[in-house]
Amino acid sequence: MSAARGAVPPEPAVGIIGGSGLYEMDGIEDLRWVRVRTPFGEPSDEFGTGRLGDRRVIFLPRHGRGHRLSPTEINYRANIWGLKSLGARWVVSVSAVGSMKEDIHPLDLVIPDQFYDHTRRRVSSFFGEGIVGHVGMADPVCPSLGDLLEAAGREAGARVHRGGTYICIEGPQFSTKGESQIYRRWGVSVIGMTNMPEAKLAREAELCYATLALTTDYDVWHESHAAVTVEAVVANLLKNVATAQVVLRRMIPRVGKPCTASSATMAPKATKDDASAAIAAASAPASARKMRAWGKPAAIGRAKSTASRSKLMLESLTICARASMPAMPACFST
């Protein structure tokens, strides 16, 4: 499916990105799987849409059902595009992580408020190819979603840590001891492989985003604990999934209106000497047409033809075009 111009926007939904155990939790009704075509290729899998109480929910298995995709192979742009096109306004990323601090124990829950992108091979923006957009990332996590996750986690009896930095590495290999010690000196709280560029793209898409990090191990830095193994991660993750289900069942019905701060997406500053910066609709590159079909604000880029430059108007340097779908509020904290 794809968003049709002039169509009635879908009912606002909470998007959940995570593993198979999440959409199998009690209380989900009318679950059906929907395939979404995107301008950025295939998402990780079909999207599971259903209801939890009065709230519409959308589930996406990040690695695909059957865990078919490595962290590098995940099509993050298609995943976020698909969620937004189906009506997601909030996104909760449920992710397995390693602890980088003594007081964050395996099986603890962490709600980070910062990210460090240490990946190397991933496309991290919807912009480019003729469209330039600058997006604020100082506070990448929606504090309202964080509050709800923290409250639900404590009610579920979990040990919850609020705040801290999630470092995202490329993977699929785990860290060396040298890398792990360096990351510790950087002051990060947890380490994972999937939240970047996911969080960046959610911000560009103006979706409220937060992570529920499930701690499975101490990476490889801890002298008195065994180094991380796949077996240890899976064993603790299975225990954490049951807790995550309880947290989500408590949290999702409480989600209210999206954050109402200003748009995250900004056109670059322009001057009279930068006249070639406007994109005329008739000559917009393919990437611009993709974003307009999605309803994404198309920030002003550089014109590629004399015809487009001739259509330049000064106000076009500071106005972003919007199309079929209404813009979803960003989640800046103030």
pLDDT at residue 62, as a whole number: 94
Coarse DSSP helix, strand, coil percentages of the chain, rounded to the nearest 5 percent: 30, 25, 50
CA 41 vs CA 10, 128, 168, 177, 290: distances in Å: 22, 16, 23, 36, 12
Buried b (16+ CB within 10 A) or exposed e, 100-111: bbeebebebbbb
d(CA 139, CA 313): 34
Asked if 243 and 156 touch (Cβ cutoff 8 Å), the reply is yes
The superfamily CATH assigns to domain 13-254 is Nucleoside phosphorylase domain (3.40.50.1580)
User: Three-state SS string across 135-152, please?
Assistant: ECCCCCCCHHHHHHHHHH
pLDDT at 211: 98
Q: Which helix (H) or strand (E) holds 20?
A: helix 20-23
Domain limits, the chain: 13-254, 265-317
Residues with a catalytic annotation lie at 217, 219
Instruction: Classify 203 as helix, strand or coil.
Output: helix
Rounded average pLDDT per 10-residue block, the chain, 334 residues: 64 91 87 96 97 96 92 97 97 96 96 98 94 93 97 97 98 95 98 97 97 94 79 81 94 83 42 32 44 41 33 26 34 30
pLDDT at 224: 79
| pLDDT confidence of residue 296 | 42
